[in-house]
Amino acid sequence: MRILVTGGAGFIGSNLCARLAKNQDDQIICLDNLQTGSMQNISGLLDLPNFEFIQHDIVEPIDLTADQIYNAACPASPPAYQADPVHTLKTNVIGILNMLELARKNNATFLQFSTSEVYGDAQVHPQPEEYWGNVNPDGIRSCYDEGKRAAEALCFDYHRMYGTKVKVIRIFNTYGPGMNPQDGRVISNFVNQALRGEDITVYGDGKQTRSFCYVDDLIEGIVRMMHTPEDILGPVNLGNPGEFTMLELAQQVLKKVPNGSKLIYRPLPKDDPKQRKPDITKAEILLHWKPEIALSEGLDKVIDYYRNIQQKNA
């Protein structure tokens, strides 16, 4: 089996490559433009005989053979995808078109990494797949939210028009090793701030909620989705339904890393969703999947991971 992973040097992509490369019968081709991904994330894989890295931006066409395509390419943290919003949209329209064409030509199965952001500032809680969302089409998050919505539409249109084998998962907030400490997301920010004894930056009043999934749990769900029968297209939510306010998260981090950090409050970014929690009934039924790693346990692992990075850089 030849398996293409776009965005394979990114946070989730590199964890997926590591998992897939364990099967020595499979050949893993990792594509990444290194905009937010890093060679460090895949350094342990480069010497494997069944792993190949190609530096490439999916916005440009590429000719490859593959039996399965995991399309994870796209910056995912708000500061990263907002840094070049036009390129973010290109990735989610032109980039995915290039990859869907590859899937069509190769008769490959195509799995799209979609996102809970398609629900926007959700007015239904928790969010089931049937909810169409509440998304600002003109705001600073639109390049990602609307881009990912267009990407989903393209997947289903390729399926309807050409019979392309597609599958769509919607990923809720995920954390774990491989997430860049400077990524700008809440867990990487809070943990790294606490480890340095710096103030913890809470945006807004900190009462907004998120549900955090440890990356190993997510990868298990993603691989299960790829192996579902052809008529299972999704979308399927993947995430951990444990819901926390950002203040609760900050308290947990402070308790685990007692370095004298204090909370400081910063303005809430525009269009920041107030509540987010996945309804994972579909994943439970179709994939026999549910997350196993609770936030407290996952935080311990990620604290160790960032502590090691800080010590190496010291």
* Active-site amino acid positions: 144
Alpha-carbon separation of residue 2 from 20, 163, 292 (angstroms)? 11, 20, 29
Cis peptide before 229 (omega within 30 of 0): no
64 touches 105 (CB < 8 A)? no
89 touches 147 (CB < 8 A)? yes
CB of 116 to ligand UDP, least distance (A): 7
CB of 174 to ligand UDP, least distance (A): 10
For ligand UDP, the closer of residues 131 and 203 by Cβ is: 203
For ligand UDP, the closer of residues 260 and 269 by Cβ is: 269
For ligand UDP, the closer of residues 37 and 110 by Cβ is: 37
CB of 310 to ligand UDP, least distance (A): 17
Closest CA to 116 of 238, 287, 7: 238
Q: Which residues bind ligand UDP (CB under 6 A)?
A: 77-78, 173, 185-186, 189, 201-203, 208, 210, 246, 268-269, 272
Encoded tokens for 239: 């995430």
- With H, G, I as helix, E, B as strand and everything else as coil, classify residue 203: strand
CB of 266 to ligand UDP, least distance (A): 7
For ligand UDP, the closer of residues 219 and 246 by Cβ is: 246
Q: Which residues contact 245 (CB under 8 A, 6 or more apart)?
A: 206, 207, 208, 209
